[in-house]
Structure 1
Amino acid sequence: MASTEFGRTVRRWRDRVPPEAAGLPVGGQRRAVGLRREELALLAGISVDYVTRLEQGRAAHPSEQVVEALGRALRLSGIEREHLFHAAGLVPPGRGTVPGYLTPSVQRLLDRLTGTPVAAYDAAWTLMVANPLYAALLGDPSGWRGQERNGVWRAFLGPAGRVRHTPQSRRTLETALVSDLRATATRYPADRRVRRLVAELRSDSRRFAELWDAGAVGRQEASRKTVDHPQLGPLTLDCDILSVAGSDLRIMVYTAEPGTQDAERVALLGVVGTQTLA
């Protein structure tokens, strides 16, 4: 019964979100009043088949991560988010867990930065949402699942990314990420996902284990990064990480100095998108 109510709720709320409000292109004839299933799946980072099974009541017991992702994609208020958790048979995350809620005001801010690569991460560096330019710059995250969406996991165990690193910049990044994750684990002691993440990293990454056990201390700071884009070549951009008071969100923003070749290439990202050119 709970899964049926959950599916009806998702279906009903999907209808009320116009695609333009979610930053999706609008064109052609649409039968859907709001978001299509494939659009909701894209925004939430889950498969279309899973969204279909959830809405039809054929998939029971969605995880907290899935419910949180759907809540963000559907742009729910705080009360609506709690209702979605209850409809899934789950207790909304409490104060001892990492907040995964993207407030409407932050979402509106991200919506206005259409010409800037920008993404929002939670306190454990799990990607919550990335705009199209961010995806075009650093790689499309829509297919990432589970720990793949976590920036710390990707830094230590994931495939090589597009950001160019020197040995020193790599050490600085790793130290800052470990230090930040330790602070998050201390601040949210009841968060099982953070505990699982730390345990996996300590088990599978010797470098992470060394830094964790040594009590490494560092912090994320604004920096200039060179991104090797497969179609546009290298872009050297300023990377700033903004904190949102009261929600522990990290907003990562890439900008270029106006009038430079890098600024022109950022503008071209909107044309290239995430496509792979022959």
Structure 2
Amino acid sequence: MATTELGAALRHWRDHVPPQAVGLPGGGRRRAAGLRREELSQLAGISADYIIRLEQGRATSPSPQIVEALARALRLTQDERAHLFRLAGLAPPGPGMVPRHITPGVHRMLDRLAGTPVAVFDAAWNQLLANPLYTALMGEWQGDDLNGVWRNFLNPDHRVRQTPESRGALQASLVADLRRAAARYPDDANLKALIAELRRRSAHFETLWESGAVGEHQAARKTIDHPIVGALTLDCDILSVTGSDLRIMVYSAQPGTEDADRLALLNVIGTQSLLG
């Protein structure tokens, strides 16, 4: 069957990534040790049909977002990711672009935190990855709401309980984060578009942006009103990945508390309803 260098590379990487390496169960009868197309589709958020067309050479011009998602799902190294971009006819993101690559080491660390709600964000607060427990805790976001700044200014209807003071401090820190990111990554068109849209649609964002407000997103205790298990008061810590500006957000409960019990229950039921 006809293919391309891009298709052959994708097939090679898929065939050489065991399910266990990406957090999937590996048992059962499998024709090959690597990932099935359906599994790669699930991990990357791309239709299995499109992956088939890429591998067979019937689709040859994937977008940078598609390439980034495939590289992340296949857990490619920095060099492998750059090679994938070039095979797709795209220039690898340069130093003036917000880094969105999650290294295999960070992936492995997240795998070991399966019982802890964890998500990874880039310097512009775009959610790149969230484990199932984080999604069960916070809800599943789509589209623009995957950006934490957008969500806090333009769609504040989420599960974290906030006071006017805590909301104000959070918003000031998020604006300061975006200002630092804009200075550090001046070539990132998506970041520029995000800031322009926020300035246009949110008067409060515009005021904070023009004021030069500074702040830093810090660890905090947060209360999450969950629709199934009830309120959980958890510690929220943000870890930074040196050299990439990635932020790893981790929620944890104090052992022996009702919050810990509710988080453990949520880990069992996942995103399913108790009535399901």
What TM-score does the superposition give when structure 1 sets the normalisation length?
A: 0.91
Is 1:114 matched with 2:111? no
- Residues 167-196 of structure 1, C-alpha deviation per residue, up to 9 Å, x if partnerless? 111111111111101100100101111111
Which of 207, 215, 225 aligns to 2:212? It is: 215
- Residues 65-106 of structure 1, C-alpha deviation per residue, up to 9 Å, x if partnerless? 221121111011122111100011001111111111111221
Is 1:250 matched with 2:251? no
- Residues 218-274 of structure 1, C-alpha deviation per residue, up to 9 Å, x if partnerless? 110110011111110111000000111112110100000011111111112221111
Does the CA contact (< 8 Å) of 1:240 and 1:252 recur in 2?
yes
Is 1:102 matched with 2:99? no
SS in 2 for 1:177: helix
Look up the equivalent residue of 1:226 and give its one-letter code.
T
CA distance in 1, matches of 2:61, 2:145: 22
Does the CA contact (< 8 Å) of 1:256 and 1:262 recur in 2?
yes
Report the equivalent of 1:41: 41
Look up the equivalent residue of 2:20 and give its one-letter code.
E
Give the drift of 1:157.
Answer: 2.3
Look up the equivalent residue of 2:256 and give its one-letter code.
G
Size of the aligned set, in residue pairs, is 273
Does the CA contact (< 8 Å) of 1:140 and 1:274 recur in 2?
no
Look up the equivalent residue of 1:95 and give its one-letter code.
P
Report the equivalent of 1:91: 91
Report the equivalent of 1:140: 140
Change (3 A) 1:71 1:234: same
Report the equivalent of 1:202: 199
Look up the equivalent residue of 2:146 and give its one-letter code.
R
SS in 1 for 2:225: strand
Does the CA contact (< 8 Å) of 2:153 and 2:202 recur in 1?
yes
Report the equivalent of 1:75: 75
CA distance in 1, matches of 2:151, 2:58: 32
Task: Give the gaps of 5 or more residues in structure 2.
Answer: none
Change (3 A) 1:274 1:159: farther
User: Which range moved further: 44-53 or 117-126?
Assistant: 44-53
Report the equivalent of 2:162: 165
Is 1:175 matched with 2:142? no
Look up the equivalent residue of 1:183 and give its one-letter code.
R
Look up the equivalent residue of 1:66 and give its one-letter code.
I
Change (3 A) 1:50 1:257: same
Which of 254, 257, 260 aligns to 1:260? It is: 257
Look up the equivalent residue of 1:165 and give its one-letter code.
Q
Change (3 A) 1:85 1:256: same
Does the CA contact (< 8 Å) of 1:176 and 1:219 recur in 2?
yes
Look up the equivalent residue of 2:89 and give its one-letter code.
G
Identity in percent: 63
Report the equivalent of 1:14: 14
Q: Which protein shows a greater Rg? A: 2
Give the drift of 1:199.
Answer: 1.3
Look up the equivalent residue of 1:96 and give its one-letter code.
G
Does the CA contact (< 8 Å) of 2:18 and 2:26 recur in 1?
no
Look up the equivalent residue of 1:135 and give its one-letter code.
T
Does the CA contact (< 8 Å) of 1:125 and 1:150 recur in 2?
yes
Give the drift of 1:38.
Answer: 3.0
CA distance in 1, matches of 2:98, 2:221: 29
Task: Give the gaps of 5 or more residues in structure 1.
Answer: none
- RMSD of aligned C-alpha atoms? 1.9
Is 1:153 matched with 2:150? yes
